[in-house]
């Protein structure tokens, strides 16, 4: 299926659902033209997660690709890069507790979370290790109108200390990476709207995740727990999800402003290594606030 993407270039997209996810066929990311990558960027906003098979990217090529799509961040606010030559690459290595088996959106515990992520498979287990993505905009759209109106007015706290506070203190000696112009020395909780307005499309999406959202502001602990459980259960309904079974040579790109994701930890003691880079994002804003 050849689908227009708002540029002069047309990509060969194989949709994975009516509105969410697509495979991009016949495109070599290492040699793609600027026009082709502009079409990829447009398709990413529209389809939210894209998959490319048969790619031949190494660390240098992955970083070069990311720089052509946007401004790269450090590998992570806390975790160092894969090596000194590639401080932008975050290695998720199961041999070093590099798991992602909780639904999350990348780095929402910072004031400006990444715009998007680019992930490639480096070492794969014989079986298992699939990754799933959920469409937060479709999830918001399918909420009942009264619940949408409630969610529109809520703010949530995102806290990275549970996942990375010990790592920052003990393994990095209290000094993380530079993020948005400042070296990270502590992970202060941040507030984001429960409903995020996408800065490019204006669409609303649920912007909470079990990995980093600690509570909702201005309600009781019990109310916060019940509301978050409601949103999480709704986000991860099967009709909101696409699932990818990895092969070597696969690359996935996703829009962090409109998705959450989860990596299966179902491969026992086998090793799984993935390399991720992230594109610099903006400060999330909700229905009642304007972007800075």
- The residues assigned a catalytic role are 104, 106, 261, 276
CA 252-254-258 angle, 5° bins: 155
Query: Quick one: angle between helices 59-69 and 34-47, nearest 10?
Result: 80
Residue whose entry in the numeric block shows the structure tokens 């401004």: 71
Residue 272 buriedness (CB in 10 A; 0-12 / 13-18 / 19+): buried
Query: From CA 223, how far away is CA 228, in angstroms rounded?
Result: 8
Q: How far is CA 19 from CA 27, 47, 136, 197, 250, in A?
A: 21, 6, 12, 18, 22
- Please tell me the distance from the alpha carbon of residue 286 to that of residue 52, in angstroms, as a whole number: 32
């Amino acid at each position: 299926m050849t689908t227009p993407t708002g540029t002069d270039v047309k990509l060969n997209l194989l949709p994975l659902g009516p509105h969410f996810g697509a495979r991009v066929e016949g495109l070599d990311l290492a040699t793609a033209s600027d026009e082709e990558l502009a079409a990829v960027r447009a398709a990413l906003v529209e389809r939210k997660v894209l998959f490319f098979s048969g790619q031949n990217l190494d660390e240098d090529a992955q970083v070069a690709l990311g720089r052509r799509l946007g401004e790269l961040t450090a590998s992570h606010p806390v975790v160092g890069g894969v090596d000194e030559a590639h401080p932008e690459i975050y290695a998720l290595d199961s041999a070093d507790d590099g798991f992602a088996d909780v639904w999350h959106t990348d780095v929402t515990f910072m004031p400006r979370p990444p715009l998007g992520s680019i992930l490639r498979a480096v070492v794969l287990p014989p079986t298992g290790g699939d990754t799933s993505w959920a469409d937060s905009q479709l999830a918001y759209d399918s909420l009942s109108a009264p619940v949408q109106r409630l969610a529109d007015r809520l703010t949530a706290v995102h806290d990275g200390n549970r996942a990375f506070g010990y790592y920052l203190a003990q393994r990095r000696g209290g000094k993380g990476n530079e993020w948005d112009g400042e070296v990270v020395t502590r992970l202060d909780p941040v507030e984001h709207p429960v409903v995020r307005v996408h800065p490019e499309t204006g669409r609303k999406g649920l912007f909470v995740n079990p990995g980093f959202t600690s509570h909702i502001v201005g309600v009781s602990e019990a109310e916060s727990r019940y509301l978050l459980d409601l949103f999480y259960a709704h986000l991860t309904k099967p009709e909101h999800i696409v699932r990818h079974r990895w092969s070597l040579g696969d690359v996935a790109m996703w829009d962090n402003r409109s998705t959450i994701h989860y990596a299966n930890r179902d491969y026992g003691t086998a090793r799984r290594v993935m390399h991720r880079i992230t594109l610099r994002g903006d400060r999330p804003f909700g229905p009642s606030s304007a972007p800075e």
